[in-house]
A = this chain, B = another copy of it.
Amino acid sequence: MSAATPTVTSKTPSYDALATANRRIYRLEHLQSMAGWDQAAVMPPKGSEARAAALAELATLVHGLRCDPSRSELIARAEQEPLDAEQRANLREVRREFDLATALPAELVQARQIAGSRCEHAWRRQRPANDWPGFAENLREVVRIARQEAELLSQHLGCSRYDALMQRYEPGMSNAELQRLFGDLQGWLPALVARVRDKQSSEPVLQPQGPFDVAAQRLLCERVMRLLSFDFEGGRLDVSAHPFSGGVPEDVRLTTRYREDEFLTSLMGTIHETGHGRYEQNLPRPWLGQPMAQARSMAIHESQSLSFEMQLGRHPGFVGLIAPWLAQAFGAQPALEAENLQRLVTRVEPGFIRVDADELTYPAHVLLRWRIEHALMEGDIEVADIPALWDEQMQQLLGVDTRGNYRDGPMQDVHWTDGSFGYFPCYTLGAMYAAQWFAALRAARPQLDEDIARGDFEPIFGWLRENVWLSASRWTTAELTQRASGTQLDPVHLRRHLERRYLGA
């Protein structure tokens, strides 16, 4: 800068310094995210050790930047600076992230990482072997550490232990709120499942006959992604063992997995990930690099994937649109006609496995996990108590007997193996939010069903863009919900949606 150039003195130097540091972190996280995608989607097996070392090195570096002690002072000073409303919202998120990042001592974070890796690694063998005692031993250590984390976080954040753990995924959510929402759900879900199963027992459904060419599935998935306005100039679809939405807002990397014997998993999974992906692709560009530009929470993210997969993707109008594409992809057969396809994607069948569950029974899987992990974290039960509780709840909610079947019972999910307690509720909160968004949409636009059947999704995407995507983390989740739908989160919308779709009520 030449001597003649006048220097503008910022009135918000501390805020500016934080914003600059945020951008640096954002850029480094870009590389973490891409290396993570690469690891899952394209990396050959012998690259794995070097990749793990490289990612650990960068994680240490980013963690150091996040927890830089000077941030504490900068945040306190920035809070006294003349910020505008958006800057203030951003600073709220900066403080939230900093508090979460610094609440735990490094040794505890490392201990969790080691115990989690060990448990998860052994679980890959133990689950197929149905080895509950072996798994329980590792899980006890994971639980012990998670309770310590919960205790420290709860002191730091001033809330209960389980509430404290949830803040990582769902800022502002509390167990009291979950009791209101999930208590309501538990009241009507089992009876609804029973009524729907009774109704569907007289509605025969044909199973599509494979094989289903993988290349044709891929083209079909990409075609449906285009129908859903996924921007392929700023993203890709690839293959990984466990499908996910990764990458960065500027370059969204979705994955799916193809099976020759059936195509619905890859197709519906892709629609699900496309919901996540479009949220990311439409986060507010001018704010990218700042915490305020991030997706609001895990439940709000899931509300987008479920808006796509459940609200839209299983809507009869949508199914009617894509049914002819399936016949083009795989050859015509009666099972691929619209009416049968609609029955296929809304078939209700209680089962053991959460990730295979249908729209109606899925929340039951979440309810039981929530009750168990909450009791575990608050110290009301121990690891040894899990199988009996699991079976009791599965019997009660879905009429399924899981005794002795740990593999398809409490050992089925990866979440607990690395101590991600407090995450499961987000799935069903997401379903509730999605139902609430569509209720608000429908109230504003009564002809929504005709829009969908015509393939005109712009009313939906426009509403989501305005109310969710571009809001990012500008508002708290409660504020966002209120602004978007006029009320707080209300489980009645999920109930009405399910009753209408599954009972025609």
Contact = CB atoms under 8 A, between A and B. Distances in A.
A190 B93 CA distance: 70
A58 interface: yes
Contacts of A495: none
B35 A251 contact: no
Given A38-B34, A38-B38, A50-B250, A27 B231 contact: no
A53 B25 CA distance: 11
A386 B405 CA distance: 79
A20 B56 CA distance: 15
A227 B255 CA distance: 32
Interface of A is mostly: helix
Interface string A229-253: 0011111100000000001101100
A96 interface: no
A353 interface: no
A27 B53 contact: yes
Contacts of A247: 47
A46 interface: yes
Nearest to A46: B234
Interface residues of A, number: 36
Contacts of A251: 43-44, 46-47, 50-51
A28 B46 contact: no
A24 interface: yes
A330 B61 CA distance: 51
A46 B34 CA distance: 15
Nearest to A37: B38
Nearest to A47: B251
Contacts of A28: 54, 57-58, 61
Contacts of A235: 44
Interface string A10-47: 00000000000000100110111011001000111111
A247 B54 CA distance: 13
A464 to B, nearest CB: 20
Contacts of A27: 50, 53-54, 56-58
A450 interface: no
B57 A250 contact: no
A218 to B, nearest CB: 14
Contacts of A248: 47, 50
Nearest to A234: B46
A61 B24 CA distance: 10
A198 interface: no
Nearest to A29: B54
Interface string A47-79: 101110111111001000000000000000000
Contacts of A232: 44
Contacts of A42: 42, 236
Given A44-B251, A236-B42, A31 B54 contact: yes
B34 A234 contact: no
A27 B52 CA distance: 9
Contacts of A58: 27-28, 31
Contacts of A45: 233-234
A317 to B, nearest CB: 30
Contacts of A32: 31
12 contacts: A27-B58, A28-B57, A28-B61, A30-B53, A30-B54, A31-B32, A34-B35, A38-B38, A42-B42, A44-B235, A47-B250, A51-B251
Given A31-B31, A38-B38, A46-B234, 19 more contacts: A27-B50, A27-B53, A27-B56, A28-B57, A31-B32, A31-B35, A31-B55, A34-B34, A42-B42, A43-B251, A44-B235, A44-B251, A45-B233, A46-B251, A47-B234, A47-B247, A47-B248, A47-B251, A50-B248
